[in-house]
Amino acid sequence: DAKTTQPPSMDCAEGRAANLPCNHSTISGNEYVYWYRQIHSQGPQYIIHGLKNNETNEMASLIITEDRKSSTLILPHATLRDTAVYYCIVRVWAATDKLIFGTGTRLQVFP
């Protein structure tokens, strides 16, 4: 799996958009970008994934640059419940091997 780099922490005001960056400059053409988050004392939760087109679901939007070397997860209207550690991971679609977590970004949403 390609290596990813994320800032260790970020703050965001409640109601504002939270933009979480991820660098994956060594990503291969068949690797997808996945985002998970872990709220304190819970198991990780899948958020979204994409290959090269921007994606949006009920939780977030994923913006992938044209060269695919970086991406941004956008939480359009952050709430206090979005406070969590966010992990960016790149994987091939059919990957069956182990999923390794990096250190992620600790997002703190404040009132």
Partner 1 sequence: GAVVSQHPSWVICKSGTSVKIECRSLDFQATTMFWYRQFPKQSLMLMATSNEGSKATYEQGVEKDKFLINHASLTLSTLTVTSAHPEDSSFYICSARARSGGAKLFFGSGTQLSVL
Range 79-108, binding partner 1 (CB under 8 A): 85, 87, 91-104
Q: How does DSSP assign the chain, residue by residue? A: ----B--SEEEEETTS-EEEEEE-TT--TTEEEEEEEE-TTS--EEEEEESSS-EE-SS-EEEE-TTSSEEEEEETT--GGG-EEEEEEEEETT--S-------EEEEEE-
> Which of 41, 53, 66, 67 lies at the binding interface for partner 1 (CB under 8 A)?
41
Range 49-78, binding partner 1 (CB under 8 A): 49
Size of the site for partner 1 (CB under 8 A): 27
Contacts with partner 1 by CB under 8 A lie at 32, 34, 36, 38, 41-46, 49, 85, 87, 91-104
